[in-house]
Structure 1
């Protein structure tokens, strides 16, 4: 269980980077571990972090609350697979106190769906109203090949359970040239039939995965062009706080998103930062620059002695946040081509958080 933490937060200056972008969205990786080994995300023989390097649930709560105090309005819990982290529902319940006070607008979660059937109702009861679930194919054999360890039926049960619990489900599909390029319309139809949104994502050059990313890469500019020949696509101004650009597909009544870090980057309006399970803050997904918030937190003992000098500890953390956000770059430098076989960023997506 997480110790009782303050429900209300003292006012503080918002976090704004040097380009005038207010940081209102925090993605928190609660674990680098996952029960899948998706071919575009990680190597099959992954070595995961030792427990001592991973933030405790209390430490995650303190850091997330510090961001909320500085103007963050949306938090997304990610991984790895967040639902394999022991005690994750306790963390969700604790962060949910900020929803009750109005300090936080939204608490969401990204999942591979494998554990969703067990946790969907608890997530809803804790204040979550929207989840993203990965679904790259509707073919069971292909699903096992893409995820290496996953079972399609388990994920479909998770999607159904989330819907039954009252959670709004957005399906995420990584577009893979030789795996699911011919399934995109089927996935659109599946999403529409279930009342879900669907977002397509270009594969990103993060981490060594024992695969050729050039062979995986499917430009979504081409996908959208092809879809526009068969469907009526209308651009939508809608934003969920993330990088997706949305269209309405008239024939299906579907909201379809495109996340395009390669063919059309989304940096100019980036309001996001990412906190890893080890307390490293990445100001940009596509850059290696980071700030070590774990050291600041443990030096101040904010996650252990909540009755100590909280004013001084908070000031130290505020200073670290100010320094980090001042270094947030204008954009990333993702590229995939035959000449650049090495990943643009060495760390895996599972470490940074999806």
Structure 2
């Protein structure tokens, strides 16, 4: 079956699947405090609907699936869904993005279900700083979950740190050392102007940070990919330290974008920084055949834009990150 190729000759083989838009934290760059405009549970795709739709995507060459949210571990019985997805022909890699507050309870079951890799959001190693960014004092639970994931044997475990000027940028070296000690891969991320929360975030250009860390830790460019995502990596000579930089503002990666995002209500977003979308829930609940779903997916991929416009139009996207899927 022909692969999914968009109008700009990019092969789409990676889907980020949001299983909930709810989260138990309120990170200052993501969901505003007091926000209650979440999707109605009756609008959430069921596990049967998710499995069917992902099955069609996988037959079209989408082999990498990442479970996201919100906080995906707030969705009941998530390991059961993971097991169903890993059993689908063509799904070669299932991973999970999490804030790790619930991970200690679920790590072993997720690993047994076929989840291979973890991305854990951790913006600070200081309890006070963590709480000020996350809006809740859950630092000990996050660390407990992170170490439970390590014991369960997930590999690699990537630490996602949104670098915020004047908030946590003084901790970058400490986070580098922490990740090297535990064998984690650190990924530093520039805040994106999504919704009022994202636009109010303390944006930090990561290019000078990369140059500084290269010098201080003797890092060189990593030529082999370390995942399906957009990070550009540096590594130490002994291979014990890998640091990725996700730079949607200072050095965008749109030319190689291979991913789309499916939100909890069945909306497929083609780009974080644009409004193009396609609604799959009406098709799934309206009796569409697999052939019709396949045609719809191909139609949707044709909508994928060439690039985002975070720099040119920073106020364009009013939806919050949790609404799109991480």
2:309 — aligned with what? 333
Residues 182-201 of structure 1: CA distance to partner in whole angstroms, max 9, x if unpaired? 10000010011001111000
Residues 75-134 of structure 1: CA distance to partner in whole angstroms, max 9, x if unpaired? 000000000011211111111202xx5x12200000001001011101110111110001
- Kindly report which structure 2 residues correspond to 1:1-354, keeping only aligned pairs within 5 A, or say none: 12-47=1-36, 48-98=38-88, 101=89, 103-168=90-155, 169-209=157-197, 212-213=200-201, 216-239=202-225, 240-250=227-237, 253-300=240-287, 313-335=289-311, 343-354=315-326
Q: Which moved more, 1:342-351 or 1:200-209?
A: 342-351
Kindly report the root-mean-square deviation, in angstroms, between the aligned alpha carbons of the 2 structures. Answer: 1.6
Q: Which moved more, 1:275-284 or 1:148-157?
A: 148-157
Matched-pair contact (CA < 8 Å) for 1:220–1:263: yes
Q: CA deviation at 1:344?
A: 3.3
Distance 2:295 2:175 in 1: 46
TM-score, L = length of structure 1: 0.88
Distance 1:96 1:229 in 2: 41
Q: CA deviation at 1:211?
A: 6.9
Residues 257-316 of structure 1: CA distance to partner in whole angstroms, max 9, x if unpaired? 000000000111111000000111011111011001111111126xxxxxxxxxxx0111
Residues 15-67 of structure 1: CA distance to partner in whole angstroms, max 9, x if unpaired? 11111111100001100000000001110111211112211122111111111
TM-score, L = length of structure 2: 0.95
Residues 223-281 of structure 1: CA distance to partner in whole angstroms, max 9, x if unpaired? 11222332212111222111001110348821100000000001111110000001110
Matched-pair contact (CA < 8 Å) for 1:113–1:158: yes
| Number of positions where the alignment pairs a residue of Structure 1 with one of Structure 2 | 323
Against the structure 1 CA distance between its residues 252 and 39, is the aligned structure 2 distance closer, same or farther, given a 3 Å change threshold? farther
Q: Which moved more, 1:113-122 or 1:55-64?
A: 55-64
Unaligned runs of 5+ in 2: none
Q: CA deviation at 1:343?
A: 3.4
Matched-pair contact (CA < 8 Å) for 1:36–1:150: no
Matched-pair contact (CA < 8 Å) for 1:200–1:258: yes
Residues 145-192 of structure 1: CA distance to partner in whole angstroms, max 9, x if unpaired? 110024111111111100111112111100000111110000010011
Distance 2:224 2:28 in 1: 31
Aligned to 1:221, what secondary structure does the other structure show? Answer: helix
Matched-pair contact (CA < 8 Å) for 1:197–1:256: yes
